[in-house]
Amino acid sequence: MTPKNLSKTYAPALLERFLEYVRQWTTSDSELADQGISPSTQGQQDFAKKLVNELNRLGITDTQITGYGYVCARIPATPGMEHVPAIGFSAHLDTSEEVSGKNVAPSVITDYDGKPVHLADGLVLDPETDPELKNATGDTIITSDGTTLLGADDKAGIAIIMTAAEQLMCTDANRKPVYSHGPVEILFSPDEETGHGMDNVPLDWLTARFCYTLDGGNGGEIETECFNAWQSDIVITGKAKHTGSARPDMINAVTLAAEFISSLPRNEAPETTDGYQGFYAPMNVTGHIESASISLLLRDFDREQMQRRIATIDAIAETLRLKYPGAGIKTVHTKQYLNMKENIRQHPQVTELLVKAVEQSGITPCFKPIRGGTDGSRLTEMGIPCPNIFTGGHNFHSRTEWASLSQMLYGVETVLNIIRIHSDT
């Protein structure tokens, strides 16, 4: 995408806001989130307070932080637009724990020249292997220094929403609103990266009947379908004995855990699949001779195929039970979210509105399945259709993460267009 949007008057404010946000340490903790603690980290709570203070400074006073760490803000309708139904926008506060998000040191490259970008520890952002980076020639791009992730997932989404909110609060010389609009609701959620982002969502506060998450990638991408997602937890109980006299009855739970993982289909792993292919993803292994635990993510776009994956996990467990008499192997399967495709298709106007808004921002919309999920997946499941919108972030959850300022600006334009088109219908 050729950058054409950098001249927007609010570009400096958007960039400054984004840089400030990514410096906030908001890594979530999946272990604590699994225990029902929300937000799972103090950094998310601190960031939530910072955002509410900023919203208040913009003149948005109908704000709150719920007991579970959700930021809720409502911008009232402008005079004469009170009849327009509310519309919502959402992004998440946390960053992934897969890579450190502490002490992020963002680097801004203006008028990117299309050459490799060298980061710490020998890491290189190479446009020859990253076509989206190559297309950002002439753009302003933001990277980390290579020792941490950047945090564009989802600080870019929050920065886009906050910048759009600031524009909605602008008035002309006669103190009349520059933008006429109906009620706009903003929701910033904790712990999306742990799969618990919508566990305690304040549905009683949210009046919008449809929303949009800002949690996507390349400029122009629209996401209306995602994985069905389950987590499988396997607990293996062995039999401890001194290793010098272990034969014949020691059962090493660590060995069984390794065998369990090696029994997963190698061609159905995240690193060997793409597009609409599902996978098994071992995420965590802990243990010792007497007890070991495995945490797996199961992903598939098709619900029937997801049941096959669950059955495969149970079959591997049963095989090991038979192979190692006396071993205990327990499997627990937990649904995380479902593919939002069918529910969103029942509300075509939500997607049609988004397509028009992207087109009117000046770029071409394209549909892409999410090889993951968003808070919108869960909201859609709860009855509030919620497609996902691009944010201009790339290489999420990695030290080579980067963001495009131009694409973030298109994101702001898209949000404002959604509000305008919705208010005019």
In sequence order, which ranges of 148-264 are alpha helices (DSSP H)? Answer: 152-168, 253-262
* Tokens encoding 376: 């919108």
Q: Is the dihedral of CA 377, 381, 383, 385 positive or negative?
A: positive
Q: How far apart are CA 90 and CA 59, in angstroms?
A: 19
In sequence order, which ranges of 199-332 are alpha helices (DSSP H)? Answer: 253-262, 303-323
Q: How far apart are CA 186 and CA 380, in angstroms?
A: 16
Phi, psi of 6 (to 5 degrees): -75, -10
Q: Which of 94, 139, 166, 193 is catalytic?
A: 94
- Residue identified by tokens 């005079």 is 79
Cα-to-chain-centroid distance, residue 191? 9
Q: Which positions ≥6 away from 317 have C-beta within 8 Å?
A: 234, 260, 329, 330, 331
Q: Does the active-site annotation cover 94?
A: yes
Phi, psi of 224 (to 5 degrees): -125, 10
Quick check: helix, strand or coil at residue 384? coil
H helix count then E strand count, the chain = 11, 18
Contact 48/190 with Cβ under 8 angstroms?
yes
Q: Which positions ≥6 away from 138 have C-beta within 8 Å?
A: 2, 3, 111, 112
Q: How far apart are CA 243 and CA 87, in angstroms?
A: 64
- Helix, strand, coil in percent for the chain, rounding step 5: 35, 20, 45
* Tokens encoding 372: 């993951």
Quick check: helix, strand or coil at residue 57? helix
Q: Which of 29, 97, 185, 192 is catalytic?
A: 192
Q: Does the active-site annotation cover 185?
A: no
Catalytic residues: 94, 192
